[in-house]
Structure formats: C-alpha cells, structure tokens
Structure 1
Amino acid sequence: MKNILLPICLFFTIGVQATFAQYHIRGKVTDSQSTAIQAATIKLIGQHKTAQSDQNGFFTFTDLKPGKYQLELAYLGYQPHRKEIQIKDADVQLSLQLEPDSRELQTVEIMGRTEKSYKNSVSYAGTKVAAEIKDVPQSIQYVTKELMADQGAVRMTDIVKNVSGVNQYTFYDDVSIRGFRNQGGVGSNSSNQLFNGLRTFNGFWRQNLLNYLERVEIIKGPAAALFGNVNPGGTINKVTKKPLDTARRSINLQMGNYNTLRTNLDFTGPANSSKTVLYRLNLGYENANSFRDLMFDKNIVIAPSLSYVPSSNTRINFDAVYNKSNSRLDRGQSIFGSNDLHSTPISLNVADINDFLNEETYLITTSLTHRFSDKLTLNASYLRTGYRQDLFEHRSTSFAVDKQGKNIENLALRRASQRHNEQFSDSFTAYLSSNLHTGKVEHRLVLGYDYNASTIPVGSSQMDAAGYRLKDGTIASKYVAKDSAKYVFYNYKGKMIPMPNVPSFDLSKNEHSLLSVDGYVYAANNTDVVVPFRSEQHSVYVQDYLSYKRLKLLLGLRWDSYISHLNYSTPQLEKVRQHAFQPRIGATYAILDNINAYATYTTGYNPQDARSQNPNAGGPFDPMTSYLLEAGLKTEWFGRRLSATVSVYDIQQRNVLYNALDPDNPDLLVQIGKDKSRGIELDVVGYIAPGLNVLATYAYNHARLDGANAGADTTYNNQQKPNAPKNQGSVWAKYVVQQGALKGFGIGSGVHVVGNRTFGFQGQKNIVPSHGPGYTLVSAAAYYTINAIQLQFNVNNLTNRTHWVGGYDSSRLYPGSPRTWLFSTTYTF
C-alpha cells in the first residue's frame, strides 16, 4: 500500500507546484543597428499587463503562470511586432528587434500616434510633410494627450499653460502667444487656429471640451509661408486622435467640486481582419457648475474617425467633431471704481437667471494621400466648419449715474442683448510632395494650392437694450445732465437717479433675480458677428526642404490673394482685393547627433477687415505686416526620450488697429506704427527614467507698442502689451513606481508662474485698472493603476490663491479659479 501511495503523493505535489508556479518574461528591445530602444510599449494581449523598456532596452513581466501568451511591441517609427510565447517550467528570455515603419512618417497624419509619453517627435504642420521637430528651423511646441490626461486638462487654457510664451487672455478661447493675441473667433475673417493643419475658427465665447485631441501644437511666429494670414506670435494647431491598427478602448469618469461630472469614451482599432479599415470614436459628456455666480456648462462631444488603407500607396481619412453646449456667457467680474480688484468677490457676475448661451459646432474633415511612386505623393484635404449661436445676456457696460451725471461706482449699468449667429468656413489644400536628389543633396519639394472661405450668411441678427429711458417712451444712448427734464427718474437709496432701459446691478448687494424682460426697448446692433460677410483666400506656394550631411535648409515662397466681400448679399456688394508674397528661410545644423542649431526668417501678412476700411472708423488702413527673426538650439537627451529647446526671437508687426477711445466716435480706430515682441524661451519635455515624465518652460517676453497716440490723454507708446507678462513659466513632473509593493502608484506636482501684466493700458487713467498682479499656482496629483483600472486625483490651485488671468476694464476682469479637485477613474480594455 505504501508503495502505491508514495507515487500518487509525489505526482499530486508536482501537479500542485506546476499549477501555482510563477515565472517571468524578460527581454531587450533593439533596432536594426542593435541599439537599445527606450520607452517602447510591450503588452501581453488579454492579460491587462503592460511594460515599457528602460534606458537599456530591458523590460520584465512577472508572476506569470505556465501557458501560451501573445506579446505585442510598439514604438513610434517602427513596425508593430507580435510574438507568441510558451511558458513551461522556466523563465523566458527574449531579444526583440524592431524594423522602421514608413507608415509612421507618412506625408499626412492619418494613422494614429503610438507614442505614449509627454514627448512627440514628428510634426506635419511645420513643413506640410512629416518631419522630426528637431529638424524644423522654427520653434514648434506641443502638449500631448498623455500630459493632458495626467493634469486633468480639458480645455485650451488648461493645455497651453504648458507651453512657453503662451498666456491666457480671458475666460474665452482666447490666448496670447509671444504677446500677440490669438483670437480668430466668430466674425473673424482671418482665423488663427488650425484643425489638423487646415484653417478654421472657434466659437470664442467659451471653450469646448477637447477629449478628442491627440495633441495641441503651437507653431511659434508668423507661419504665413505655409498658412497665409496668421497671428505673428504663433498658430495653434489642434490634432485629433487618429485610428490605430491595434485595439484600444477606455472609459473615463470624472467627478469634481462645483458639481462637476464628466464622461469620456475612446474606442479604436481595426474594423476588419485585414486592417484596411480602422476606426476611432471619442465621446464626451459634461455637466458642471462654476465658482462664478450663475455659470454652468452642459456639453456633448461626438468625434468619430475612419481610415481606409486599401494599399500601401493610398490612404483616405474621415474626421468629424460635433459639439453641443448649453451655458451662460460670462463677461467677467465688475468692480467698484477702476482699480480695486478686491472691491467685489471674484464670483460676482452681473448676468441674470434668464440668460443663456446655446452653441453648436461641427468640423468635418476628409483627406487623401496617394503615392504615385517612391518619389511623388499627392495630398489633399478639405475641412468644413459650421457654427450656430443663440444668446441672451445681461452685461455691464459702465457705471450708472446720478442726476448730476456723476458715476455711482457700486451700481453697474447693464445692457441686454439677443443674438442669433451662424458662420461657416471651407478650407481646402492640395499639394504634391517629391523626394529628389541632386548629387549628394536630398530635396523634399512641396508644391501646393490652398483655398479658404469664411461666411456669415443672411439671417444672423443682434438686438440690444441699453441706455436711459425718456419720458416720451424712447431711449437715449447716454445721460446728459443739462437735459435732465427729458429723462425718467427712479428712487435709489433715497436719491432720484436716471432710469436705465435695463435694470442696473447693485455690486454691493450682489443679488440675482429673474427679471421681467418684456419691457426692454431694443434696437438693432449691426455688430461684426451678425452682418452678412464673406472673405476668400487663394494661395499657391512652393517649398524645398534640402538636406546635405548635417545641414538642412528650408526655403519657401507663398503668394496669397485675399478677397473681402464688403456689403455682402446686398446690391452694393464691393470686392476688396489684397495680395501678398511671403518668403520663408530657415536652416538647421546638427552640431552633435543630439544637438541641432537653427535659425529662421519668415514674414507675415494680415489684410485689414473690409468693414474697418470705412471712413467712420478712420479708414482705409494699410494691411498688417510682420516678420520673425529666430534662432536657437533643439536638443534630445536620454536616448531621445527628453527634448529641450531654447530660442531667442524678434517679432515686429506694423499697422495693427486699436480703438481710439474717442467718446464722440466709438467706432474710430487708430493704427499703431510698430507692435514689437522680443524674448527668450525654454521648453523641456519628455521621459527621463522609467515612470518619470517631466516638463519645464520659461519665457521672457518684452512686448510693447510704439508709434501712435490714441486720444488726447492716452498714449500707447512704449506700453507693455495687454495681458502679456514679461516673465512666466511652468514645471510639472509625474513619477509612477515601477516595481515592488507600491507598483502602479504615482504622484504628480507642478507650479505655474505668471508675472505682472497690464490690464488695458497704463495710459488710460481712471478707465481700467492698470496693474494685473502676477501669481503662482501649485497643482498636485496622485495615481494608482491596478490591472486595467487607473484611479487619479488632481488638485489645482492647491494654495487657493486669488488671481486674475486677464482683464479689459473695470466691468470685464477675469479671475482665475480657486482651489479645485477632480477624481477620475479610467478603465482600459
């Protein structure tokens, strides 16, 4: 009996050990030159296990049972690699070699980016062909979706604080770059934003959710040689998430203070077994209140994307983004007098309960790339942007007055507006790119044509209720004390004062009520955002990107024809035509394998809006022209995982228009002689060691106005430009523990510093607060990842610092948010 039991027990023991045995997979990732590849992503399919190769290319998977596994390896610029692995009774050692993949350096961005860190290596917008950013002779900075996610950034002003020289201007989709305001909203005929490299515009009055973005690129300086009339400070390019040829799915839930609730979904992968059709779908939902009185946001985002790759020579892509939002328009904080920022709480808002702002936006893009041969490729893209707005608002315009006409500085005079606005734009680009050689010189030639049209059709309108009531039932635009007998008066705190058309708001009480608006007397307001309008732009350009050993030259020339339709859709239609040639010259030299020196000269041109050319505004005015001189170093460290750029620049713009502040002619404009900006910038971003991502920026910007006077008591000369700090910077770092008991736990922290600024202009005494105080904001985050679930907690403005991100005047100041927190849960499968 003993002889029988002994083998049985031994067999049972071996079986138990085999069942519960734990083994490892260890490996090294190299390229075709046997050089270690760092930060490559390695997955065990179906196991919810992911690793990244370290600085020596090594990776490890632990605690694996015997059996078969599918390993997947991905890294930007290389072909995806899959391998089947069998674990029997010992650890597995692997040596994995990746081959270059031309799909990752396509001429247009159709396939999705596979990098999964703060660093982005390739830009398509900088040269209109795939080029490594380090080789482009111009500063191009970016913020990737990974950095956005780690910081809990959901809107543009959350994102761009990570880029040197970019500063928030207002609450709206509105920033300054190197001291030049980047607006391009509704009513603009020269938008300064790009969407997948194509010209578009934004709704301006609020910021949309950006959960569908792969990254945001900022091309510094006037990139007119590529895109025509753009901001001389820089151009923002929003790059959407593209389909991947491997399946990835995630669901993200966010909850925060001010009753914030958000849901984001991101699904991507092949739609068929041959992987010729790829898809991506991003969905977003938001319901959130604000620290500002009466403010809220309700948003829906639907962003599908499809890629059709029938062969290695042809790729077709379709992208769409639809955003619907319901909110109120926040015109900012009003204060007593003109200089005491603390005279009212930062939550104060003079809006009313029955105000609303309803917006719908869509962007639809189709693009095609076809390679005729190894030397010739055609690219064509078309973007349609549509926008619709319905608005009712109460806003402060100035202070109410007493019977003698003196300001009552705690009583804000208000105006009510009803507006319906629609605007559309069409952008098309087509270009041939060719790779040629003349001796030892490599040429990447681009020859292209661009078309852009922006239209406000018939049907938009705005009605304003403002001014003071007269006894005859009409409205006076302003109160004149000598004619007081004509006005209606009412009792305010025991004093009889002129009755406004719209009830004034008592700043000292800060009380809101549901006003009866039926008695308002309205008048049509033909503001720029509702007057029918159309502008067109036709452009041809040629560019040669030459490479010889360590030297690269970028030579470009563009011709633009601008057509503004004055009195559009009327018998008095007049077409105003303007033309411009724009050169671009740049050079990059590789001092060392990881250090490039660069220099560039490029010009800019912006035609004046045809509506500003009328005599009432003081026109006609000369067009705005600009140039950029820039030089710097672009470097890469730690096996190309960390990039650092330092640049010095000089930008000058001529003939920009500012309001002349003439009380007798509010439409009168004045043209500035020179609009200057000089400075130095530093940007560091990337992955230093396993689990450690960092970002650091600094900008010194001396942006001033020179060459014109405006008004008898106001001078613009030598003033620092509004909302353009001389000094600003950011630091952010995130570390995730890679092994041990705390594996998967991470922390993040950052500091954002903005120096003193000017709100309005210092010369405008008793009109605007001249001093915008600087501020320092601290943020922190904690992360924990277990299998397919990540938990994340972010705190912004940790010290609860009271600050202002921008301002116009005493009725429109823009305070920053107090301390906020956000808890996120992400499930990836």
Structure 2
Amino acid sequence: MKFKILLPLVSCCLMLLTAATSFAQTGSIKGTVSLSNGEAPDNISVTLKGTKFGTATDEQGNYEIRNVKPGNYIVKASVIGFSSKEENITVAAGSELVVNFTLITTSEALTEVFVKGNANKYTKSESQYVSRMSVKNLENSQVYNVVTKELIKDQLVTNQDEALKNVPGLYQLWAATNRAGDGASWYSLRGFTTQSLVRNGLAGKVNSNTDAVNLERIEVIKGPSATLFGNVVSSYGGLINRVTKKPYETFGGEISYQNGSYGFNRLTADLNTAVNDDHTALFRINAAFGNANTFQDFGSSKSFFVAPSFSYKVNDKLTIAIDAEIGNQDNSGMSLIYLPFGVSIDQLGVNNAKDLDINWKRSFLGDEFLTNTKTLNVFAQANYQMTDEWTSQTVFSSSSNKAAGLQTWFYLLPNQQLSRNAWDANGKDNAIEFQQNFNGDFNIGSMRNRFLIGADLYYGSNKLGYQSLPGYAAYDNINYTGSAANYYDFNPTNVKDALAGNGNPPYTTNSSIATYSAYVADAINLTEKLIVSAAVRFDHFENEGAFDAATNTNGGSFSQNAFSPKFGVVYQVVKDQISIFGNYQNSFTNKGFLNANVGGALEMKQFDPEKANQLEGGIKINAFQNKVSATLSYYNIKVKDIVTADPNLPNASIQNGTQYSKGFEVEVTANPIPGLNLLVGYANNDSDLNGLRPVTAGPENLINYWFSYNLQSTKLKGLGLGFGGNYGDAMYIYNNGPGETFELPSYAVVNAALYYDQPKYRVSLKMNNLTDELYFNGYTTINVQAPRTVMGSVTYKF
C-alpha cells in the first residue's frame, strides 16, 4: 500500500530529474534586437541557420531560444526592410549566451540609434512605394502619412475605414456601398475625392470595406501623384496604398476573437511558418470571418476574408513572392439619403441635417436588401540584384470584383417625406497591371544618384447591368416622422415583383480602358544635405468605349497622350533629423466624349484632359533618437479645364471650371517617455470651384488624435490605456450659393481603449463614440454614423 502511494511521487521525481539532466545538457541564447531608426522592434525573426530553432522578438526586441544542443551555430536576425545580421556562436552545455543585434535599414546605412524598451511605434516613415527608390522620408520632398500596425492594434481597428481616421486631412464622404464598379468607400483628400485603389504600390481595388487582418500598414500619399502611379488609381488629392503582411522566417502567429455591440462577432487568425529547413521558402496566411447588425431596425453584414502569401529566396540575388486576397461579403447597409433634384432648399424647410425630425434608428426598410460582393486580388513580385549598384523589380497585379443584389437609396422631400428607391444592380470589374522597374544607386563624381527607370501597363474593364422602375421612379413615399402604414412595404420581394411587372428593360454597360506608360526619376545629392529630384511620366491612354453587343460596335472610343512632370528639393538643416522641402507635382484626368451644347443641340463632344498642378513646401522632423517625428506642410493645388454642368442646356457638360485647393497640414508622433505614445494631426483646407466651396472638399478643419500609455515596471506591466478621437467642422453637401446650401453639422467623437498585453495573450476593450454623438458624413448625401459601441477582444499568440 505504501509502495502504491510512493510510486507517483517517485515517478514525478524521476521526471524532474530527467528534465533537469536534459536541461543541463543543453544551452540557451537570448538577447535584444534594436532597429536603427527607432521603430518598435517586435516580430523580428531570430534563427539558428541550418536548424529548425528560431523565435521572434517581443515589442521591446527581446528574444530567447531554449534547449539548444551544444555546438557551433550561426545566429541570424532579420526583418523585411532592414539588412539582416549574423554572428558565429558556440553553445556549451548549461550555458546562457547573450547576443544583441542592431539592424540597419536597407534603404541606406543610417546613423545607428539604440532605443531599447522605448519606441515611437506610431511612426514608420520609410516606404519602398512612395518614391519607388531608396529615399528616406527626410530626403523625400513628397508628404505622406502612415497608419502603423501598432496603432491599428492599440485602437482595436477591424477595418480600413476605422484605420484611416488617423490620417490628417482625410475625410470619409461615405462608406462602402458594395456596388459593382465603384462600391468602395469614398474619401475627400486635399479637397478632391479619392478611393482606396492601390495595394502594395499597384492596382488592388475592392468594392467593400477591407478587413484589417492583412494590413501591415496604410500609406496615404498626398497631392497629385500621376508621375509614379498614373491617373487611374490616384486623384488630385492623393492616393491610398494598402501594404499587406509578408512572411517572416520563424514559426508564429495569433488567433483573435472580438465581440461587441449590435451582434458584432469576428474571428481572425494569422499563421506564419518556414516551408523548408534553410528558411528560404516562407508561407503566411491571414483570415477573418465576421458578422454584425447595424444599429438600425434592419441591416446586417456577413464576411469572409483570407489572404495567403508565399515568398522564396531562390539565391542571394533573386527573391520571388506571391500573395492573394480572397473575400466574400453579404451586406445590407444603411441607405444613403440624397437631396432631391428640382426642389429648392426653402421647400425642404431645413438646411442642416441636425434639424431633421428623423428617428435615425429606423432604416425605413421592410426587410434585408442584401448585396453579395466577391473579391480576388493576386500580387506577384520578383526582385533581382543585377549588380552592386542596380536592381530589377518585376511586379504583376490582378484585381477582380463581382457584386450583385438590390441597391436602395432615398430622396429627402418636402413635408417630412422620403422617396424610397431601388434598382437591381450586378456586374464585375477587372484590372491587370504589369510594372517593370530598374533602380540604380551610384555616384557621378561626388554626387550620389538614386535613379529609377520603369514602364507600366494597365488594363481595366467593367461590365455592369442595371434594372430600375420606369424613369428611375420611386417605389413609394414615406413619412419619416411618426407612424407610417406603408413602412414594411419596401422589401426585396415587393421590389422584385415591381421590377418584373413594370420595370425598365435591363441594360448593360461594357467598357474597357488601357494605359501604356514609361517614367524616369532621379534624386541627386548635390551635397550631403542638399537633394534635388526630378521625374517625368509619359502616358498613352486608350478608352475602347462602350461595347454594344446588339450592334457589335464600340461607341465613344478615344485615345489621349499626356506628360506628368515632378520636381522636388530637400535641404537637411540637421542631417537625418530636420529637413525643409518643396515640390511641384502634376496629374490629369482623361474626360473623353460627353454630351455638350453644340449650336443649341445636345451632341457628343470629345473634351480635353483636366490638368492639376501642385506647389508645396514644409518641414520634416525626426529628432531625439526618433522620439519625435513631425511633418508640417502648406500646399496649393490648381485644376484647370474642369468639366461642369452646362447651365444653358440640361444634361450637357461644359469645360470651363477651375478649382483651387490650398491648405495646411501637420502630423506629430512622439514617445516622450517610456510607454507613452501619441499621435496628433490637424488639417485646414480652403477649396474654391467657380467661387463656391465644392461638396467634395469635406470639412474645412479636421483634427485627429490618439494617446496611449502602458505600464513599464510594475507587476501590471503590459496594462495600457488609449484615448483619442476626431473633430470636423460643419460642411456643405449642397452648395449653390447663399440661401441654397445644406449642411452637415460639426462633430467631435471621442474613443477609448483598455488592454493588457502579455507575450502569450492580449485582452482588449474599446468604446467608440463615448459621448454618443449624433453625427453624419456625406457626398451630396446624409449618412448617419454609429452611436456608442463597445467591443472586447481576446488574442492568443504562439
């Protein structure tokens, strides 16, 4: 009996003795990895070459590899964007080696800065996409803002729209409608509309609100940027570039679950692994599944998103990579409320959305109107080191979107009425882009040249089908105050019956465009501190027109050529810390054939391209070992030959518009003390189109801010608190001069987050719109925004 009682105790002792003996026969390696530019050194791969041993650093750059058998090894630290480092080591039984690394950015050997346990994690200013050359932010005359993955994590951001609220001067006009052709979110940037059409520097369109699970960061590149990106994916105000997550050398990942207000549920996974023993083949996959309701009586969404990525280092010179985005969404979003045609503001009786007597929790729908959206984006890249001075980059991108379903919208009418409208819309759009770049980094005499020559081919096509009620007539009208006997009549079944019974015949648009481009750029160090840059692009644009299958003809086809120059100058007042800059940038839009007033009659006429020119100057700062980073700039954009409505003939256009847009922007990120990070942005925009502020310009003044602090040395290390929000002035959604304006009110939204972050898990809680502010956005529309919402998250890391 005693033997039976002692047996488990003896077994445990033997197991502990065996483990202790095994541990004594192995060693361990630990240390800290720092990044030369002071960025947060988390998720850096540290491996023993030729073995399966490896790990990744935490947010402070610390790592540890345990149970390593005695012997000689090469330990390697590496991360994308920085030169890897290796060190020969010898591991002895029972030993604990300390091996520290500092990695230098691949763009240039920077002055080494050691920032241990303290990082300005809301700035990541170096980008391989903005100039397509190895030019640091302080050497670049163009302004761009970056939303980092660290900021996305601290704010518990789940989609792109949320993340972009952190960009100074970027204002969402309306959220994604998921409609075929142009269903993605629309934004105002420096007074002009833009969409998120770029992924990893090339075409990567989606027609829905992109899930954040695959976002490494988002870059918003300011000003007319046709010189390097073309006019198809950029606007006069700039462009939005989504940078996706890439594979790294060690095994790791995380699984997260979020739950929140109005039935919000979201499950995400991030898995990374090396495919072979020498870590030259790497694979990573990110996925998200979610569903939610809106805060109104009807409205819901369900989404699935998966993003696999693979990279292979063929040899020391050649690396290839391929990744994809596969998405599927069913959405029944909130309908846009438009101002009516042919009705004066006086007839409406109100000129501000805050004065409308509407219960905004009513959707004015009788059931769910679902639109299904499918996305497939594929991206492939090959980098080849031709010589010590020259590299080749070959890139291919394919973007495909499909959408189908009933779409709804409302018109605001006098006497507290809404007209309820719907059509059956379906279609698809495809874009293929191929790009070849050659980069050189060489000296001519004492002057350093960073040189780019490249070519770009873009082909895009759209096939869209619609069916509506005769003359785009409303389905019905409804009283938006009090009771409404016909409230539930507006539902998919009744609308489909109406379309089948007396709807217009379905019609289809089928069009395609192509651009053939070549560009050259050079950034020259006249001195160590003075850099001048110049670039020019030639575009040959072809619009094949609208194809009519019945007649087998193309109507409205045309072609145009355009040059886009760009110039810049940068002087570093303090090397690698303070620089002043100025730039000239250019863009254009091909308008083609439109209805025009020709001798009093309506006829098709080919219009000239619109042309935009920007002058900008400012200062960039990255000081105190990257603890403070800031950009201050003033810009002035002039767009000539804008096509506007002809006042003398309905449905006709005239090319007589000139728009001016000027403004001031500032962004500051800082890490003044360990654990405290802050981001503050301000933008002022003054836009004028033929004497009036255009409705595309958004608010005149915008403010965004976020502060976070996490405890550093107590027993609760890893506990953090975040606080921030957005402010916007009142803005016009209709502006036809004094007495003929309609406004959305100013708003101030406050958000907060609480989190506890540990090496193996993270628990988070956030609350958006703390004060339950009633606010709107809009683009000739009144779009109510969400009230107070709460969301919690649990993450397991491995």
TM-score normalized by the length of structure 2: 0.83
Q: Which residue of 2 aligns with 1:684?
A: 668
Is the counterpart of residue 377 in structure 1 residue 358 in structure 2?
no
After superposition, residues 185-584 of structure 1 pair within 5 angstroms as 193-203=197-207, 206-229=208-231, 230-333=234-337, 337-341=349-353, 342-397=356-411, 399=413, 407=414, 409-457=415-463, 460-466=464-470, 502-508=475-481, 509=483, 511-513=487-489, 514=491, 516-517=494-495, 518-520=497-499, 521-524=502-505, 530-547=508-525, 548-568=527-547, 570-584=552-566
Which AA in structure 2 matches 1:793? L
Which AA in structure 2 matches 1:416? A
Is the counterpart of residue 822 in structure 1 residue 758 in structure 2?
no
Q: Which residue of 2 aligns with 1:604?
A: 587
How far the C-alpha of 1:396 sits from its partner, in A, is 1.9
Cα distance change, pair 256–384 in 1 and its aligned pair in 2 (3 A): same
**Deviation sequence 1:394-429 (CA, Å, 0-9, x none):** 332453xxxxxxx5x233223221111111111111
How far the C-alpha of 1:609 sits from its partner, in A, is 4.8
Q: Which residue of 2 aligns with 1:788?
A: 760
CA distance in 2, matches of 1:305, 1:611: 43
Which AA in structure 1 matches 2:702? Q
Cα distance change, pair 592–505 in 1 and its aligned pair in 2 (3 A): same
Which AA in structure 2 matches 1:339? N
Is the counterpart of residue 779 in structure 1 residue 751 in structure 2?
yes
1:625 to 598, 605, 611: 611
**Deviation sequence 1:418-455 (CA, Å, 0-9, x none):** 11111111111112112221111111221111111111
Cα distance change, pair 272–47 in 1 and its aligned pair in 2 (3 A): closer
How far the C-alpha of 1:584 sits from its partner, in A, is 0.7
On the 8 A contact 1:702/1:720 being kept in 2, the answer is no
CA distance in 2, matches of 1:617, 1:279: 56
SS of the aligned residue for 1:690 comes to: coil
Cα distance change, pair 757–38 in 1 and its aligned pair in 2 (3 A): closer
Which AA in structure 1 matches 2:504? A
Q: Which residue of 2 aligns with 1:179?
A: 191
SS of the aligned residue for 2:163 comes to: helix
Q: Superposition RMSD on alpha carbons, in Å?
A: 3.7
On the 8 A contact 2:138/2:572 being kept in 1, the answer is no
Is the counterpart of residue 703 in structure 1 residue 687 in structure 2?
yes
CA distance in 1, matches of 2:532, 2:94: 58
Q: Which residue of 2 aligns with 1:77?
A: 82
**Deviation sequence 1:661-704 (CA, Å, 0-9, x none):** 88x83x33344521111111111225444322221101111122
On the 8 A contact 2:404/2:426 being kept in 1, the answer is yes
How far the C-alpha of 1:25 sits from its partner, in A, is 10
Q: Which residue of 2 aligns with 1:746?
A: 720
Cα distance change, pair 344–87 in 1 and its aligned pair in 2 (3 A): farther
**Deviation sequence 1:695-739 (CA, Å, 0-9, x none):** 110111112212xxxxxxxxxx23254452111111111111122
2:629 to 643, 658, 661: 643
**Deviation sequence 1:200-222 (CA, Å, 0-9, x none):** 4332xx42323211111111001
SS of the aligned residue for 1:512 comes to: helix
CA distance in 1, matches of 2:299, 2:697: 24
How far the C-alpha of 1:578 sits from its partner, in A, is 0.9
On the 8 A contact 1:719/1:762 being kept in 2, the answer is no
CA distance in 2, matches of 1:77, 1:258: 43
SS of the aligned residue for 1:300 comes to: strand
How far the C-alpha of 1:51 sits from its partner, in A, is 5.2
Q: Percent identity?
A: 24
Which AA in structure 1 matches 2:796? Y
On the 8 A contact 1:723/1:807 being kept in 2, the answer is no
CA distance in 1, matches of 2:766, 2:87: 36
**Deviation sequence 1:47-73 (CA, Å, 0-9, x none):** 99965559xxxx799xx9999999986
Which AA in structure 2 matches 1:567? A
Aligned length: 725
Which AA in structure 2 matches 1:255? N
Q: Which residue of 1 aligns with 2:170?
A: 166
On the 8 A contact 2:39/2:121 being kept in 1, the answer is no
How far the C-alpha of 1:649 sits from its partner, in A, is 0.7
CA distance in 1, matches of 2:302, 2:99: 51
CA distance in 2, matches of 1:51, 1:262: 25
Q: Which residue of 2 aligns with 1:471?
A: none
How far the C-alpha of 1:133 sits from its partner, in A, is 2.0
Is the counterpart of residue 806 in structure 1 residue 785 in structure 2?
no
How far the C-alpha of 1:312 sits from its partner, in A, is 1.9
On the 8 A contact 1:52/1:690 being kept in 2, the answer is no
Q: Which moved more, 1:146-155 or 1:334-343?
A: 334-343
How far the C-alpha of 1:503 sits from its partner, in A, is 2.9
Q: Which residue of 2 aligns with 1:484?
A: none
How far the C-alpha of 1:28 sits from its partner, in A, is 7.0
Cα distance change, pair 423–610 in 1 and its aligned pair in 2 (3 A): farther
CA distance in 2, matches of 1:53, 1:360: 39
* Structure 2 residue runs without a partner (length 5+): 1-12, 21-27, 48-52, 110-118, 177-184, 340-347
SS of the aligned residue for 1:119 comes to: coil
